[in-house]
Amino acid sequence: MPERFRKVLLTMGTRASFIRLLVVAVGIVVVFGILKPAVFLSGQNLQYVELASPEVAILSLAMALTMLTAGIDLSVVSIANLSGVVAALIMTNGHQSPGLAMLAAFGVALACGAVNGLLVGYKHVPPILATLATGQLFSGLALVASGGTVVKGLPEPFTRLALLTVAGIPLIFWVMLIVAVIIGVVVAKTPLGFRMRLVGANPTAADFSGIRRARVLLATYVMSGALGGVAGLIISARAGGANSDYGSSYVLLAVVIAVLAGVDPEGGYLTVAGVVIAAIAMQLLGAGLLSLSVSSHVVNICQGLLLVTMVLLNTWGTALSGLFQRRRVIA
Amino acid sequence: MRRLIANQELLLIGLMAVLLLAVSLKFPDFFGQQTLFNVLTASMVGMLFAVGVMLVVVSGGIDVSFLAVGILSAYATVKWASPDAGALSVFAISTAIGLGLGLINAAVVIIARTSVLIATLATSSIYLGAMFAFVGGEVISILPQSLQTLGSTHLITAKGAVRGTTSLNVLILVVIAVCILVWAFLRFTVAGRSVFAVGGDAEAASRAAISVPRIRMLVFAIAGAVAGLAGIISITLSGRADPTTFMGRELDTLAAVVLGGVAIAGGKGTVRGAVLGVLLISLVTASLVPLGIPTIWQRAAVGALLIGGILLQTTISRRQRIRPILDAPAPEVTNA
Amino acid sequence: MSAPFVEAVSVSKRFGGVQALTDVSVAFSPGEVHCIVGENGCGKSTLLKVISGAYRPTSGQVIVAGTAYDHLTPRQALSAGVEVIYQDFSLMPNLTAAENIALPGSVAGGRRLYSRTAARALAERAVVRLGVEIELDIPVGELTVAERQLTAIARALAHEAKFIAMDEPTTALTWKEVDALFAAVGRLKESGVALAFISHKMQEIFSIAERVTVLRNGGVVTSGRPDEFTHASLAETMTGRGSQSFDRVAPRNKGRAPALKVSGLGRDPLFADVDLEIGQGEIVGLAGLLGSGRTEIAEAICGVKPAQTGTIEVLGRPVEIKALADAVKAGIGYVPEDRLTQGLFLDQPIGDNIVATHLPSRRGFLSPQSIERRKARVVRDLRIKLGKLTDPVRSLSGGNAQRVLLGKWLLGEPKVLILNGPTVGVDVGSKFDILGVLNAQSLQGLGVLIISDDVPELISMCHRVLVVRSGRIVRELSGDQLREDTVVEAVTAS
Ligand SMILES: Nc1ncnc2c1ncn2[C@@H]1O[C@H](COP(=O)(O)OP(=O)(O)O)[C@@H](O)[C@H]1O
Ligand SMILES: [Mg+2]
C-alpha cells in the first residue's frame, strides 16, 4: 500500500483495530458470497446496501465523534427523528418548499446539539447523563409535534432525493461520502479535531494545556447534532414520512459500528474511514443473514456477538498476538 | 439549607406534594385512595427495575440490559410453562433465568474489561434477538391459571373516587419485600457496603481486600434476578405476555434512577431514592390529564424534569469539593 | 534478631518506558522500624505497593509470613496482617471515615454481616489509640487532606496488623499529629509489629529508624543502621551527588518591569493576600507543605482555578486571567504537579504532546510543516531520548517525559514559567539537565517560579524562596537566609 494512502486510512486509528475491521468486512463478503452468491452478490442487494448504509453511517459518525472526546451521544437518534418530524411538518402542514424545510430541520438539529454541548461542556454533566436526558426531551418533543403518528404525505421533490442516482450511485450514498470526508478533514486536519482528540485522551491534561475544553465539547456535540439532522432527513426521505421513534435500535447499532471501527469509547481514537467501512460491513452482514432467510432477529444476535467479540479483541488482542509471536519464536 | 437542597429525596417528596396539591386544588377527588392505588400499580414493575439498575449504577456502571433480561426471563418462562404450573414455581424460574442472564452480563464486563454500558448494549441485543428468534414473538394471551388468579388477587379493594372500585394487587407485597431485602443487603452486609466501595473507587476498594470482580458478579446477579421477577410481575399484572412490552423503555427507568439521586458515576444511591424517582414519574403521568396537558407530553415532561434534576445534582456536587485551607488555625496563634 | 516477617526478593517493576524498580531485595523484621528513603520518584511507593499486593511485580517474589508469592493479592496480604498507609491514602471517597477504617478488616476477615455501630466503635477505638480527632461520620471525600491522612493511619492501626507500612504518612500533618503518630509507632514496635516507614525527611528518619535502606533510581544503593550515616552522607547517598549548585547570577533588571507581579490574590477558603513579584531572569521558589495552598496559588496565577480577588501583571501590563488559555495568551506557562494525569496525554504520540498547547495553524487548518519543525526543535533543544515521534509518550522515562512537558511550554516563548515539582520522579542526570535548561532560559529573561518539596534543589536553584503556610505567604528568604535548615523550619513551623 502506498505510504500516503495508508496514512490517510489510518489517520488516528490504531493499526491493529483497522486491520481487524478489514478482516471482518472481507470475511462477511467472502462468507456470504460463497454461501449465497446468487442473492448476496446481486446488483439488487448491492443497491439495498447503498441505500441503507448512509443513515447508519452518518449516525455512527456522530457517535464516533463524541466517543473521540470520551463522551457518547445517546440522543442522536432522537435528534434525527425530531428534525425529520420538523421537516415533514413544515412540508405537509406548512406547505413550504423542501429546501426551507431541510434548512429548518438542520437548524433544529444544531440547536439540539448545542443543548447537549452546553450541558456537557459548560455544566460538566457526564455525557451519558446529559444525552440520556436530552434524548428523552427531544424524542418527547418529536412525539408531541408529530401527534404520536407518522407524518405522511411528504412532497414528491423531497422523497425523490432518496431515489436519485448520480453516476449510478444513490445520491444519499454520495451525501454520506461527502459528510465523511468533511468529518475526516475536521478530525485530522484542523486544530479543533486535534484538540477533540486530546480532550478525549485526557480531559485533565487538556485543561492543563490551555485547551478550552468546554468550547471543544460544545463544537463536538453541535457537530454530532448536525449529523443527526442530516441522518433524520435521509431517513424521512427514504421512508416517505417521519415519526418520533424511528430506529430506536440505531443507538446500539451506532455504538457497535464505532467500536467495530476501532474507535476507543474511552476517547482519543477515531478513524473516519473505519466508521464508514464498518457501517457498510454491518449492512452487508444484515443483508447476508437475510439472504440466508434467517429471521431478522438473528441479525440482532449477530450484532451483539460481534460487539462482544470486538471488545474482547480490543482488550485481549495485543496480549494474544504477543502470545502467538512468542510461540513462533520458540517454534 | 444547603444540606436540605442537597437531599434530593426530600426534594422529590416536596415536588410530589406540590404536584398533588396543584391537581387536588382543581379536582379535590384526586387526593385519595384511587390516585394512590393508580400510582402504586403503575409503579410496581418500574420500582423493581429501578432498584436493580440502582444497584448496578452504585457499583459503577450503567446497565441498559435489564428490560431485555426481564422480558426474556418472563416470556420464556410463560411460554414454556405448563398451563397448570404453580405461581411460585413460575416466579422462581423467571427469577432464576434473570439471575443467569445477569451473570452473563457480569462475565462480559469482567472478561472484556469494558464499560458496563457497552457490554450490556451488546448483551441486551443478544437477549432480545434470542427471544424473538428462539422463544417466540407472538403475544401470549392465555397465561397459566395460577398467574391469572394471582393477577386478580387484590390486597385492598375500595370504592372508587367517582364510581366503580379501585384496587391494589397483592404483588405489591412482593415488590415491597424485594425493596426491603435490597435495602438490607446494602446496609447490613459486608458485600453490600463493598458495592459502595467499588463504586466509589474500585482501585482503592481492591487495595482494601475487596474482590472487585466478585462484587460485580453479585451485583449483576441480584440485578438480573430482580429484573426477571419484575418481568413476570409485569406479565401477571397485565394478564398477557407481550414480548415487545418494554422495547425502547430503558432510558425511562434510568431517568427515574437519576431523578432519585443515584449518582451516575457510581458510589452513591439508595433504594428509597430509586423508588421515589419511579413514583414521581408515575405521579407526573397521572397528573398530566387533570392538569389539562395531553398525555403525549409525558415523555418531554420527564425529559425536562430530568435535565433539571441533573443540573441540580451536578451543581451541588461541584460545589462541595472545595476544602478550606485558610480556615486552618493561623500560624501566629499556635506559635504562642 | 528474629526472622523477617515480610521480605521482597529481587523485585523488579516496569511501567511502559519507566523502570520503577530493579532487582530490589529488602526484609522487614518484627519489632523493627525500617526506613526506606530516597528522592521523589526513586520507586519507594512502587516497592510498597508490590509488598501489599496492589501491584504485581514484573519479576521477583514477595515473602509474607514464610510463604512466597509470585503474585500476592491485596486480600492475601491483608489476611496475613499486612497493613499499608498509601501515599494517595487509597480511601473510598464516598464512604465515611468510620467505614473506611472498619470495612477492609471485615472483608479480609471473611465476615458477612456489617454493623454500623460496631464499625463506628472500631473506628473510634483506632482513632483514640492514635490520639487524634477525626470527623468519623461524613464521607471521606469531604474531609481535609490531613484528616484523610489520619483516617488512612487509623485504618492501618485498627486491625491486629503484624506489619505496617507507611508511605510518607506525615506530609499533611502538624507537629502534634506527627508526635502522636510516632508514639503509636513506638507502641507498635514494642508489641512486635514490623514497620516500614517511607520518608525523605531527614529529621524523621533519624528520630525513628532502626534500619535505613536507600533507594536510588529504582535500585537499593545501601542499607544500614542510622548511626552509620550523617545527614549529609545520607543526602548524598540518596541523590548520588554531592551538594552542588548553579552559579546564580543575580538578575540585573532593576529598570525593567517584573516578569510577573501579583498583588492581593485571594480565593475564599483557599488562600488570601498573596503578593509576589518575579523579575525578568529571576528564579523564585515557593515552598510549603502539602495542603498549604502552594499549588492553589500557582493554579490561580495560571488560571486553572482562577482567583476571586487581586491583580496579575505580566511585564508591567495587567492581564485578566479566567482560564489557562488566558494565561497562555498573556505569556504564562504552567508545568503541573502530576505529570501522569495532568501533564501528559500518555497514550498519544510524543510529538502531539509537544505541540498540544502551541499548535500552529493557518486559516483554520493545521500546518503540518511547521508542526513537524516545532516537534523536531523541542526534541533537539531539550535532548529528548525517544524512539519515534509517533510512539506514545508513555514509553518515555520520567526524565524525558518531563522534558516533553517543559518543551511544550517553552515553545510558546513564555515570559513566566511556573513549575510545580519539576524534578519529581526524574533521574539525577535529567534533573540536572532540566534545571540547567531553566537556568539558561532565565538568563534570557524568563521569570521562573518553582514549587518544590526538594529543599536542597530550591536552595541551589532559586534567588529567593517564598514560604506558604495556611494559604498565605508568610516569609521570604534570600541571600544568607537561604539555607536548608531555615527553609525547613519556615515551612514546618506551626
Ligand atoms: N502507575 C504508574 N504508571 C507509570 N509510571 C509510574 C506509575 N507509578 C509510578 N510510576 C513511575 O515510577 C517511578 C517511581 O515512582 P514512585 O514509586 O511513586 O516513587 P516515590 O514513591 O519514590 O516518589 C516514577 O518515575 C513514576 O513516575
Ligand atoms: Mg511515593
* Three cell numbers, residue C177: 499529629
Ranges of each domain in chain C: 6-239, 260-492
Tens place of pLDDT per residue across chain B (336 aa): 445 555 778 888 888 898 889 888 888 887 788 888 889 998 999 999 999 999 999 999 889 899 999 999 999 999 998 888 888 999 999 999 999 999 999 999 999 888 898 899 899 989 999 998 888 888 998 888 998 888 888 888 887 767 778 888 889 999 999 999 999 999 999 999 999 999 999 999 999 999 999 999 999 999 999 999 999 999 999 999 998 888 777 878 888 898 888 888 889 999 999 999 999 989 988 888 888 888 888 888 888 988 988 888 777 766 555 667 775 544 443 332
Contact B55, B184 (CB under 8 A): no
* Three cell numbers, residue A18: 483497522
CA closest to C408 among chain A residues: A209
pLDDT of residue A324: 53
Point out the residue among A141, A249, A304 whose CB comes nearest to the CB of B300.
A141
* Cα–ligand 2 centroid distance for C169 (angstroms): 10
- Cα–Cα nearest to C431, from C228, C244, C202, C163: C244
Q: Is the dihedral of CA A302, A308, A311, A313 positive or negative?
A: negative
- Cα–Cα nearest to C453, from C296, C285, C301, C235: C285
pLDDT of residue A53: 92
- Cα–Cα nearest to A250, from A66, A77, A52: A77
Q: Which residue has the cell 500518555?
A: C346
CA–CA gap between residue B262 and residue B309 (Å, rounded): 11
CA–CA gap between residue C51 and residue C55 (Å, rounded): 8
Residue C10 has pLDDT above 70, yes or no: yes
The full length of chain A comes to: 331
* DSSP label of C141: G
DSSP B98-160: HHHHHHHHHHHHHHHT--HHHHHHHHHHHHHHHIIIII--S-B----HHHHHHHT-EEEEEE-
- Cα–Cα nearest to B230, from B60, B3, B77, B57: B77
Ranges of each domain in chain A: 42-313
pLDDT of residue A323: 56
Check if B200 contacts C (Cβ < 8 Å): yes
CA–CA gap between residue A292 and residue C228 (Å, rounded): 82
| H or E element that contains C361 | strand C361-362
pLDDT of residue C247: 57
The CATH number of the domain covering residues in A42-313: 1.10.3470
Residue A128 has pLDDT above 60, yes or no: yes
CA–CA gap between residue C34 and residue C32 (Å, rounded): 6
Contact B164, B179 (CB under 8 A): no
* Three cell numbers, residue A8: 490517510
CA–CA gap between residue A267 and residue A274 (Å, rounded): 16
* Three cell numbers, residue A251: 443507538
CA–CA gap between residue C211 and residue C216 (Å, rounded): 17
Q: Which residue has the cell 474482547?
A: A312
Q: How far is B155 from chain A (nearest CA, A)?
A: 35
pLDDT of residue C251: 63
* Three cell numbers, residue B249: 423503555
Query: Is B334 within 8 Å of C469 when comparing Cβ atoms?
Result: no
Q: How far is A187 from chain B (nearest CA, A)?
A: 24
Contact B85, B144 (CB under 8 A): yes
> pLDDT for C317-343, tens place per residue?
999 999 999 999 999 999 998 888 899
CA–CA gap between residue C240 and residue A95 (Å, rounded): 83
Query: Which chain B residues in 209-248 lie under 8 Å from chain A, judged by CB atoms?
Result: 247-248
Check if B165 contacts A (Cβ < 8 Å): no
Check if B284 contacts A (Cβ < 8 Å): no
The answer to whether the CB of C11 is under 6 A from ligand 1 is no
Mean pLDDT for the stretch of residues A46-72:
93
Q: Is the dihedral of CA C394, C399, C402, C404 positive or negative?
A: negative
Point out the residue among A190, A197, A211 whose CB comes nearest to the CB of C365.
A190
Using 50, 70 and 90 to split pLDDT, how confident is the model at A15?
A: low
- Cα–Cα nearest to C357, from C381, C324, C389: C324
Helix (H/G/I), strand (E/B), else coil: B14: helix
Contact C411, C405 (CB under 8 A): no
CA–CA gap between residue A242 and residue A84 (Å, rounded): 6
pLDDT of residue B121: 87
* Three cell numbers, residue C14: 516496569
- Cα–Cα nearest to C321, from C413, C451, C313: C313
Contact C195, C189 (CB under 8 A): yes
Residue A318 neighbours by CB under 8 Å, 6+ apart = A16
Helix (H/G/I), strand (E/B), else coil: C229: coil
Residue A7 has pLDDT above 60, yes or no: no
Mean pLDDT for the stretch of residues C107-135:
90
* DSSP label of B329: P
CA–CA gap between residue C87 and residue C84 (Å, rounded): 9
Beta strand segments in C54-183, E:
59-64, 67-69, 82-85, 163-167
Q: Report the residue among C24, C44, C46 best suited for mutation to probe ligand 1: largest number of ligand atoms under 8 A from its CB.
A: C46
The CATH number of the domain covering residues in C260-492: 3.40.50.300
Query: Is A248 within 8 Å of B252 when comparing Cβ atoms?
Result: no
Contacts of B265 in chain A (CB under 8 A): 126
Check if C364 contacts A (Cβ < 8 Å): yes
Residue B222 backbone phi and psi in degrees, to 5? -65, -45
Contact B314, A124 (CB under 8 A): yes
Q: One-letter amino acid identity for A78?
A: S
Domains with residue ranges and CATH for chain B: 2-320 (1.10.3470)
How far is Cα of residue B62 from the mean position of the Cα atoms in its chain?
A: 12
Contact C69, C76 (CB under 8 A): yes
Q: Which residue has the cell 463504586?
A: B199
CA–CA gap between residue A279 and residue A254 (Å, rounded): 8
CA–CA gap between residue A8 and residue A10 (Å, rounded): 5
Contacts of B268 in chain C (CB under 8 A): 94
Nearest CA to ligand 1 atom 19: C41
Check if B129 contacts A (Cβ < 8 Å): yes
- Cα–Cα nearest to C31, from C138, C161, C228, C190: C190
Helix (H/G/I), strand (E/B), else coil: A280: helix
Mean of the per-residue pLDDT values of chain C: 88
Helix/strand/coil (H, E, C) string of A109-153? Answer: HHHHHHHHHHHHHHCCCCHHHHHHHHHHHHHHHHHHHHCCCCECC
Helix axes B66-80, B250-259, angle to 10 degrees: 130
pLDDT of residue A306: 87
The answer to whether the CB of C20 is under 6 A from ligand 1 is yes
Query: Is A265 within 8 Å of B118 when comparing Cβ atoms?
Result: yes
Point out the residue among C95, C269, C293 whose CB comes nearest to the CB of B322.
C269
C305 burial level (CB within 10 Å; 0-12, 13-18, 19+): middle
How far is Cα of residue B101 from the mean position of the Cα atoms in its chain?
A: 17
* Three cell numbers, residue B250: 430503558
Query: Is A311 within 8 Å of B314 when comparing Cβ atoms?
Result: no
Point out the residue among A141, A148, A305 whose CB comes nearest to the CB of B126.
A305
- Cα–Cα nearest to A223, from A86, A38, A65: A65
Interface test with B, best of C71, C79, C106, C107 (most B CBs within 10 A): C107
The reply to whether domains C6-239 and C260-492 share a CATH topology is yes
Beta bridge mates, C197: C35, C166
The upper half-sphere exposure of residue C242, i.e. CA atoms within 13 Å in the direction of its Cβ, equals: 0
The answer to whether the CB of C44 is under 6 A from ligand 1 is yes
> pLDDT for B225-276, tens place per residue?
999 999 999 999 999 999 888 877 787 888 889 888 888 888 999 999 999 9
CA–CA gap between residue C136 and residue C140 (Å, rounded): 8
* Cα–ligand 1 centroid distance for C166 (angstroms): 16
Query: Is C345 within 8 Å of A212 when comparing Cβ atoms?
Result: no
- Cα–Cα nearest to C234, from C259, C209, C256, C270: C209
Contacts of C347 in chain A (CB under 8 A): 201, 268
Mean pLDDT for the stretch of residues C92-99:
93
* Three cell numbers, residue C480: 544568607
| H or E element that contains C236 | helix C231-239
CA–CA gap between residue B6 and residue B311 (Å, rounded): 12
Beta bridge mates, B156: B168
Point out the residue among B248, B258, B296 whose CB comes nearest to the CB of A245.
B248
Class of domain C6-239: alpha beta
Contacts of A315 in chain B (CB under 8 A): 111-114
- At residue A118's C-alpha, the angle toward residues A80 and B308, to 5°, is 90
Query: Is C341 within 8 Å of A211 when comparing Cβ atoms?
Result: no
CA–CA gap between residue C273 and residue A233 (Å, rounded): 58
Residue C250 has pLDDT above 70, yes or no: no
Using 50, 70 and 90 to split pLDDT, how confident is the model at A318?
A: low
CA–CA gap between residue B114 and residue A67 (Å, rounded): 14
